[in-house]
Amino acid sequence: MATKVKEIVDAAAPTNGSPLISNDKLKQLYATMIKCRTLEERARVLFKQSKFTGNYYAAVGQEAAAVGTAIDLRVEDTIGPSHRDFITGFIKGAPLDKMFCHLFARENSPDKGRSSPAHFGYAPLNVITPASTIAAQLNIATGVALANKMKKNDNIAVAYSGDGSTSLGFWHEALNFAGVHDLPIVFVCQNNLWAESVNLQFQTKVPDISVKAAAYGFPGITVDGNDVVAVYRVAQEAIARARRGQGPTLIECKTYRWYGHSEIDPAKYRDPEEVERWKAKDPIAGMERYLMGKGLFSAEWKQGIVDGFNKELDAAIEIAEQSALPQGVEALDHVYSFSIRERVLEPKVYEPEY
């Protein structure tokens, strides 16, 4: 059931019916990846400058997996990110100023400064707020998929996780339930070989995580997670399948994170030669070579993208830096259906209605 996609096929439309990818879409895939990397490298610098506290979990090196699966989702579609999927919110269309206000834990961030910095959610675009509990977002996204099926619409959910999550009960519960009920959801496992400091060989015996989908009764496919065109093709088929009411798909994107588990992790447990081998497979550099072969790339065009996006980042960061921090008492708001502040600071006597 698992299929490996090892290279980009640029020929006639394949027999499975996937259309050719337009030149404009190819350029959009590349431009979005370079923006994602620019965003994350800026976030890493800001963390080192103590502009925000907590931690940051960069997905540098994994951009193709996120961009290829999320770039064409509708506003009505839902994504369930993990702590390492900050860029999926940007790909979905979240405003940069809201994203940086979240990192900086400001009062006007979507979460009112409550869950900075690794849990960005954005309700207007159906971006679920990640949970600290690994893989918990899968169950929430599965619940959304169930709701979509009950409403008889063609909206879907895409749930992201790492290879480490596949060893947890949450992962099994979500995929099993989705399979039993043929839910409109795509599970994306970004297999970067490391669950924090635990290598994949200590997580599972099978070489391809995608084969596990067979136990839940739906297709699994393993794809080169550093090949954005291959990921995009596979994702488009899985998304279309979900919209048609044919149930879930598990996509395993084999990729690699360049840095440690987080910005406070030196990643000394990894072989430096392993890191360099994967950096040589940089998804952005690979896409540049592909676009060059089609006459769609120039250094000037790339520089224009980076320069323009850096200006957008500068503006968003300035807004975040000038925004107010939440007051301590505000932590009592937005918790229950009525204000805790009202109950604790301005107590009233509540009489039973019977």
Instruction: Look at residue 335 in the predicted model and tell me its pLDDT.
Output: 67
Question: pLDDT band at residue 14, thresholds of 50, 70 and 90?
Answer: very low
* Residue 157 near residue 129, CB atoms below 8 Å: no
Query: Residue 262: what are its φ and ψ, rounded to 5°?
Result: -150, 180
- Collapsing DSSP states into helix, strand and coil, what is residue 125? helix
CATH for 59: 3.40.50.970
Q: Is 261 an annotated catalytic residue?
A: yes
Longest dimension (CA), the chain: 76
Catalytic-role residue among 257, 259, 270, 290: 257
pLDDT digit string (tens) for 66-80? Answer: 999 999 999 999 999
DSSP per position, 8-63: ---SSPPTT-PPPPPHHHHHHHHHHHHHHHHHHHHHHHHHHTTSS-S-----TT-H
Q: Identify the pLDDT of residue 115.
A: 83
Q: Residue 351 falls within a domain, yes or no?
A: no
- Pairing outcome for strands 220-224 and 249-254: parallel
- Give me the domain span that covers residue 85: 4-327
pLDDT, one tens digit per residue, over 171-181 is 999 999 999 99
**Contacting residues for 297 by C-beta, under 8 A, at least 6 apart:** 30, 288, 291
Active site residue 172: no
Q: Which of 204-218, 256-270, 291-305 has the lowest mean pLDDT?
A: 256-270
The one-character DSSP state at 254 is E
Residue 346 inside a domain? The answer is no
Lowest mean pLDDT among 127-136, 191-200, 234-243, 340-349: 340-349
**pLDDT band, residue 131 (cuts 50/70/90):** confident
Domain membership of residue 182 (yes or no) is yes
pLDDT score of 6 more than 50: no
Q: Is residue 54 part of a domain?
A: yes
Active site annotation includes 83: no
Within a domain: residue 309?
Answer: yes
Does residue 305 have a pLDDT over 80? yes
In a domain, 235, yes or no: yes
pTM reported for the whole predicted model? 0.88
What average pLDDT does the segment 267-278 reach?
92
Over 70: is that where the pLDDT of 9 sits? no
Write the pLDDT tens digit of every residue in 51-102: 998 899 999 999 999 999 999 999 999 999 999 999 999 999 999 999 999 9
Peptide bond into 130 cis (omega under 30): no
Q: What is the pLDDT of residue 15?
A: 43
Residue 102 domain-assigned (yes or no): yes
The pLDDT of residue 347 is: 55
User: Residues 37, 83, 233, 261: which is the catalytic one?
Assistant: 261
pLDDT at 354 > cutoff 50: no
Question: What are 201-250's pLDDT values in tens digits?
Answer: 998 999 999 999 999 999 999 999 999 999 999 999 999 999 999 999 99
In a domain, 352, yes or no: no
**Total number of domains constituting the chain:** 1
Q: How many C-beta neighbours within 10 Å does residue 317 have?
A: 20
